[in-house]
């Protein structure tokens, strides 16, 4: 199956000269030969696929081929800025693929094509760019998606922080599937696919300014395979969302708000790694608000709970799947947590970013 719109286009191009410089200069953004070399050497070589090869200003797809996967197109875009660019368990490249793949997958779409646009600060090491591009290629291969178009800009020192990546993605939504934030009803179960807060803690730790060292790795992962399995086993799944910035607490608040229901979380059931707890205790943070990059919140009818859990647990990214709470009739929009003493507290949306505190 060829998705290339223009059959006469060459499928391979003359290999450009490899770059031997150590660092990116403004010349690489100038639109001339230096830029073509950079794009070829760093990106095209690793993303190599027939849809990318023509390097037209746009990727072209046959509608008929897309339609074999479902009846609606899903389209999403996400920009990735992370400090540091490489961290335990991942890097900005892996994040950029996973983030967009997951944003498509949680809508019930099969992710197919991604774009990759990079903004590079002059002076950024070529070796770093190569590692990031390789990581993107590896993750895209795992997720079964193709990077089919992109863009490269180089900006003067200080105009961006080393490297920003934007990926947009196209996927196709399975016919008949309708996942929605507004669909939660009293009695439904709230499920997550594993330990919470690993990514947020890994990033804070990797930044180094807090001088904390820990074995915590980011949970960053492409979840489309996991979600495929869940939807196949449990087509009555009502809603999925990846619990990125703002963490699980934010997602459940969004559900409670959109569905005008209450949600009660169970303190003892929220799965948090011992080291993440330690990390949070030291800095006075709440792990429920830490970012995740490989965790989803799923809302399923109570009757389908066991099936959903079993499906999630059978996948490598869902082995820690667990029910963390239930939708209630409680005040609409209100998320509460049953504390281990039988007490109750409100779990609100975060006002701003969580800051480390001493008191």
Partner 1 sequence: MRFVDEFRDADKAKALLAEIGTVAAKAADRMGRPANIMEVCGGHTHSIFRYGIGDLLPKSIELVHGPGCPVCVLPMGRVDDCVAIAEQPGVIFATFGDAMRVPGSKKSLLQAKAEGSDIRMVYSPLDALALARANPDREVVFFGLGFETTMPSTAMTVLQAAADGTKNFSLICNHITIIPTMKAILDDPGLQLDGFLGPGHVTMVIGLEPYEFIGATYNKPVVIAGFEPLDVLQSVWMVMQQLSQGRAVIENQYGRIVPKGGNPVARDAITRVFELRDFFEWRGLGSIEHSGVKMRAAYAQFDAERRFSVPDVKVADPEACQCGDVLKGIIKPRQCRVFGTACTPETPLGALMVSSEGACAAYYQYGPRAGDEPEKANAA
Partner 2 sequence: MCLGIPGQIVAITDASRGLATVDVAGVKREISVAFVRNADEAVEQLIGAWVLVHVGFAMSRIDEDEAAETLKILSELGEVAQETEAMRASGRA
Footprint of partner 1 on this chain (CB under 8 A)? 209-212, 274, 277-278, 281-283, 331, 334, 339-346, 348, 351-352, 355-359
- Report the residue number, 1 or 355, with the smaller CB distance to partner 1: 355
Work out how close the CB of 282 gets to partner 2 at its nearest, in angstroms, rounded to a whole number. Answer: 6
User: Of these partners, partner 2, partner 1, none, which one is at the site of residue 339 (CB under 5 to 8 Å by kind)?
Assistant: partner 1
Q: From residue 176, how far is each of 70, 128, 236 by CA, in Å?
A: 9, 43, 11
**Alpha-carbon gap, residue 91 to 115, rounded angstroms:** 18
The residue within the footprint of partner 2, chosen from 13, 15, 277, 329 (CB under 8 A), is 277
Count of residues that bind partner 2 according to CB under 8 A? 19
- Report the residue number, 284 or 332, with the smaller CB distance to partner 2: 284
The burial class, CB within 10 Å (0-12 / 13-18 / 19+), for 186 is middle
User: Of these partners, partner 2, partner 1, none, which one is at the site of residue 351 (CB under 5 to 8 Å by kind)?
Assistant: partner 1
Work out how close the CB of 315 gets to partner 2 at its nearest, in angstroms, rounded to a whole number. Answer: 26
**Footprint on residues 255-274 left by partner 2 (CB under 8 A):** 274
Work out how close the CB of 218 gets to partner 2 at its nearest, in angstroms, rounded to a whole number. Answer: 15
Structure tokens at 33: 């030969």
Choices 87-95, 205-213, 222-230, 339-347; region in contact with partner 2 by CB under 8 A: 205-213
User: Of these partners, partner 2, partner 1, none, which one is at the site of residue 213 (CB under 5 to 8 Å by kind)?
Assistant: partner 2
| Closest-CA residue to 287 (of 358, 347, 230) | 347
User: Of these partners, partner 1, partner 2, none, which one is at the site of residue 352 (CB under 5 to 8 Å by kind)?
Assistant: partner 1
Whether 141 and 98 have beta carbons less than 8 Å apart is answered as no
Taking only Cα atoms into account, the Rg of the chain, rounded to an integer number of angstroms, comes to 22
- Report the residue number, 136 or 280, with the smaller CB distance to partner 1: 280
**Alpha-carbon gap, residue 301 to 197, rounded angstroms:** 26
Work out how close the CB of 355 gets to partner 2 at its nearest, in angstroms, rounded to a whole number. Answer: 12
Structure tokens at 144: 């079964």
Work out how close the CB of 355 gets to partner 1 at its nearest, in angstroms, rounded to a whole number. Answer: 3
| Closest-CA residue to 315 (of 189, 194, 191) | 194
Whether 97 and 138 have beta carbons less than 8 Å apart is answered as no
Count of Cβ atoms closer than 10 Å to residue 312 Cβ = 26
**Footprint on residues 207-246 left by partner 2 (CB under 8 A):** 210-216
- Report the residue number, 44 or 216, with the smaller CB distance to partner 2: 216
Phi/psi for 339 (5° steps) reads -75, 165
Annotate 334-349 with b (16+ C-beta within 10 A) or e (fewer): bbbbbeeeeeeeebee
Work out how close the CB of 245 gets to partner 2 at its nearest, in angstroms, rounded to a whole number. Answer: 22
Residues whose CB is less than 8 angstroms from the CB of residue 221 and which lie 6 or more positions away in sequence, other chains included: 98, 293, 294, 317
β-pairing, 262-266 with 335-338? Answer: parallel
User: Of these partners, partner 1, partner 2, none, which one is at the site of residue 345 (CB under 5 to 8 Å by kind)?
Assistant: partner 1
Task: Return the residue matching tokens 């009695």.
Answer: 187
- Report the residue number, 57 or 209, with the smaller CB distance to partner 1: 209
User: Of these partners, partner 2, partner 1, none, which one is at the site of residue 334 (CB under 5 to 8 Å by kind)?
Assistant: partner 1
Tally the residues of the chain.
Answer: 359
If binding is defined by CB under 8 A, does position 68 make contact with partner 2? no
The burial class, CB within 10 Å (0-12 / 13-18 / 19+), for 198 is buried
The residue within the footprint of partner 2, chosen from 71, 83, 236, 281 (CB under 8 A), is 281
The residue within the footprint of partner 2, chosen from 47, 87, 279, 289 (CB under 8 A), is 279
User: Of these partners, partner 2, partner 1, none, which one is at the site of residue 214 (CB under 5 to 8 Å by kind)?
Assistant: partner 2
What residue ranges bind partner 2 (CB under 8 A)?
Answer: 205, 210-216, 274-275, 277-279, 281-282, 284, 357-359
């Amino acid at each position: 199956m060829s998705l290339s719109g223009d059959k006469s286009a060459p499928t391979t191009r003359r290999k450009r000269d490899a770059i031997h410089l150590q660092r990116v200069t403004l010349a690489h953004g100038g639109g001339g030969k230096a830029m073509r070399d950079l794009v070829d050497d760093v990106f095209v070589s690793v993303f190599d696929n027939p849809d990318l090869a023509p390097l037209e200003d746009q990727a072209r797809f046959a509608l008929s081929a897309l339609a074999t996967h479902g009846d609606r197109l899903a389209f999403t875009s996400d920009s990735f800025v992370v400090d540091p660019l490489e961290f335990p368990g991942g890097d900005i490249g892996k994040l950029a693929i996973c983030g967009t793949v997951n944003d498509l997958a949680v809508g019930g779409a099969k992710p197919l094509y991604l774009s990759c646009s990079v903004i590079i600060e002059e002076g950024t090491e070529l070796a770093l760019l190569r590692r990031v591009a390789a990581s993107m290629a590896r993750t895209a291969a795992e997720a079964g998606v193709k990077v089919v178009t992109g863009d490269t800009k180089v900006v003067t020192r200080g105009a961006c922080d080393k490297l920003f990546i934007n990926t947009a993605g196209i996927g196709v939504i399975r016919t008949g599937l309708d996942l929605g934030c507004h669909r939660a009803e009293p009695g439904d179960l709230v499920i997550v696919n594993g330990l919470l807060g690993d990514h947020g803690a890994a990033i804070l730790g990797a930044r180094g300014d807090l001088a904390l060292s820990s074995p915590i790795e980011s949970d960053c992962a492409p979840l489309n395979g996991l979600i495929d399995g869940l939807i196949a086993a449990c087509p009555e799944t009502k809603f999925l969302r990846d619990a990125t910035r703002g963490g699980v607490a934010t997602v459940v608040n969004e559900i409670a708000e959109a569905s005008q229901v209450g949600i009660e979380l169970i303190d003892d059931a929220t799965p948090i790694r011992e080291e993440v707890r330690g990390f949070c205790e030291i800095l006075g943070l709440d792990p429920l608000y830490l970012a995740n990059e490989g965790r989803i919140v799923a809302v399923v009818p109570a009757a389908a709970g066991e099936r959903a859990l079993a499906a999630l647990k059978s996948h490598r990214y869902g082995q820690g799947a667990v029910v963390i709470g239930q939708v209630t009739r409680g005040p609409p929009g209100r998320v509460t947590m049953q504390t281990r003493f039988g007490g109750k507290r409100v779990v609100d949306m975060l006002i701003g970013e969580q800051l480390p505190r001493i008191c």
